[in-house]
């Protein structure tokens, strides 16, 4: 696991404390334990703070998965 993975996992785990590591890596965002619009707003803010990017909630929801979010962040920072 590289540094970006760790950081992203930390973001997901802090915003979705009820979701397991496996769940975060494999499940769709809106299927993760504890997911709701409030958690979405929290995840959004944490990602923005940690990675210095700006994302809108609908955009994040379209990404659907942890891996897709990771790819998106890499593109944004490229």
Per CB under 8 A, does 56 bind another protein? yes
| Cβ-proximal residues to 10 (8 Å cutoff; 6+ apart), any chain | 50
Per CB under 8 A, does 61 bind another protein? no
**Which segments of 16-56 does DSSP mark as H helices, in order?**
21-26, 37-51
Please tell me the distance from the alpha carbon of residue 3 to that of residue 40, in angstroms, as a whole number. 23
Residue closer to another protein (CB basis): 31 or 38: 38
Per CB under 8 A, does 33 bind another protein? no
Residue closer to another protein (CB basis): 49 or 67: 49
Per CB under 8 A, does 11 bind another protein? yes
């Amino acid at each position: 696991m590289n540094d970006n993975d760790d950081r992203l996992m930390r973001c997901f785990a802090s915003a979705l404390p009820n979701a397991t590591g496996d769940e975060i890596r494999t499940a769709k965002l809106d299927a993760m334990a504890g997911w709701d619009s409030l958690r979405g707003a929290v995840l959004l803010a944490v990602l923005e703070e940690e990675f210095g990017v700006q994302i809108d909630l609908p955009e994040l929801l379209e990404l659907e998965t942890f891996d897709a979010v990771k790819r998106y962040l890499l593109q944004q920072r490229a």
